[in-house]
Amino acid sequence: MSSSCLLALESSCDETAAAVCTLDGRLIASRIASQVEIHRRYGGVVPEVASRNHVLHARLLVEQVLEDAGKKPADMSAFAATSGPGLVSSLLIGTSMAKALAIAEDKPFVAVNHMEGHLLSPFMDGNGPVRASIALIVSGGHTMLVRVHDVGRYELLGRTRDDAAGEAFDKVAKMIGLPYPGGPEIDKLARQGNPEAFKFPRSFLDGSSLEFSFSGLKTAVLYELPKLDLKDERLLADLCASVQAAIIEVLVEKLVLAAKRSRETLVTVSGGVSCNRGLREVLTARCAKEGLELLLARPELCTDNAGMIAFAAVQRFNQGHSSPLEADVDPNLSLVS
């Protein structure tokens, strides 16, 4: 059947990605050209290098996902791209390509908020339709608790006052000499460590707050470092397990608190940090105990990808929404107005 799909591009940071999704929300092709190896040598993402690499990969990825899906550009009902938040020079590559395709095929362009892509990703893989829930979004740049009433109707319940959860993982990893990005490295080492070896602070703020703070954890690790021999593998694993446990406890407790307070029984967790195996295990056990239904995206859909952007675009497109071709990118685009 023609005109039953949508193609989306993601280029907000260091991953160039393209995906094709059917208008009933099935992901039928998704590819990522990761730049992790390129940025690792700098210890973080270099914007200029990222945008140049997006230029190199975007066109080929579009051709490949269309081939994977067995579709032509003319079969698409719309073309979508992430328009923010993210790096301006990176966002411009994906949006320019999606707009060019939209013009060439005379089809609508749909601008997507990257955080809405993460937010809705747990509803992919047949977990839809999107419904009332409490969402915890934990990525490299954001940590937010959001009440979801419906697609596009979001209420911010709390966010971090300083570092995002992914940033806390990455900064601690850098301090202890682990490669970028640090989250997956800490996740791996934490499997062999004792989470109670070090008592790191849990910033619950006043106990009833839904705001987060992770900068105290970073400082606590910094004070601990001169006393430690990080060449000791056992100790390094204990340190990683203890840091991870401190982050997980705050995330899980605040999510449960938000659900109880709003009397929602469905909770979702998304963003790169939701790949973390320790977090997934604690969440699964805790939600079962509290009688909460938990939706998590599969790991490939947790970190940046175009599948989640295509899925979010489909939800908006099906509501009759599209964006003007003059729509600009916005590095600080907000999820809630």
User: Which residues here bind Zn ion, judged by CB under 5 A?
Assistant: 139, 304
Closest by CA position to 17, among listed 9, 28, 27:
9
Cβ at position 82, least distance to Zn ion in Å? 9
Pick the piece of the chain touching ligand KG4 (CB under 6 A) from 63-71, 97-105, 182-190, 231-239: 182-190
Residue burial 135-163, b: 16+ Cβ < 10 Å; e: rest:
bbbbbbbbbbbbbbeebeebeebbbbeeb
Cβ atoms 30, 301 nearer than 8 A: no
Look at strands 109-113 and 133-138 and give their pairing: unpaired
Of these, 94, 122, 271, 307, which contacts ligand KG4 (CB under 6 A)? 271
Complex with Zn ion: residue 10 or 264, whichever CB lies closer: 10
Angle at 114 between CA 143 and CA 241, to 5 degrees: 35
Cβ atoms 101, 7 nearer than 8 A: yes
Q: Could you identify the residue written with the tokens 């339709």?
A: 129
**Residue 275 binds which of ligand KG4, Zn ion, none (CB < 5-8 A, kind-dependent):** ligand KG4
Regarding 90 and contact with ligand KG4 (CB under 6 A), the answer is no
Residue 102 tokens read as: 């939209």
Cβ at position 293, least distance to ligand KG4 in Å? 23
Complex with Zn ion: residue 51 or 139, whichever CB lies closer: 139
Cβ at position 118, least distance to ligand KG4 in Å? 6
For 129, other C-beta atoms within 10 Å of its C-beta total 9
Binding characters for ligand KG4, 158-177, by CB under 6 A (x = yes): --------x--xx-------
Cβ at position 123, least distance to ligand KG4 in Å? 16
- Map the footprint of ligand KG4 across residues 132-151, applying CB under 6 A: 139-141
Cβ atoms 39, 85 nearer than 8 A: no
**Residue 195 binds which of ligand KG4, Zn ion, none (CB < 5-8 A, kind-dependent):** none
Complex with ligand KG4: residue 193 or 272, whichever CB lies closer: 272
Complex with Zn ion: residue 116 or 238, whichever CB lies closer: 116
Closest by CA position to 94, among listed 18, 30, 6, 5:
18
Q: Is 99 left (phi over 0), alpha (psi -120 to 50) or beta?
A: alpha
Regarding 276 and contact with ligand KG4 (CB under 6 A), the answer is yes
Of these, 25, 122, 272, 307, which contacts ligand KG4 (CB under 6 A)? 272
In the complex, which residues of this chain contact ligand KG4 (CB under 6 A)? 13, 139-141, 166, 169-170, 181-184, 187, 271-273, 275-276, 303-304
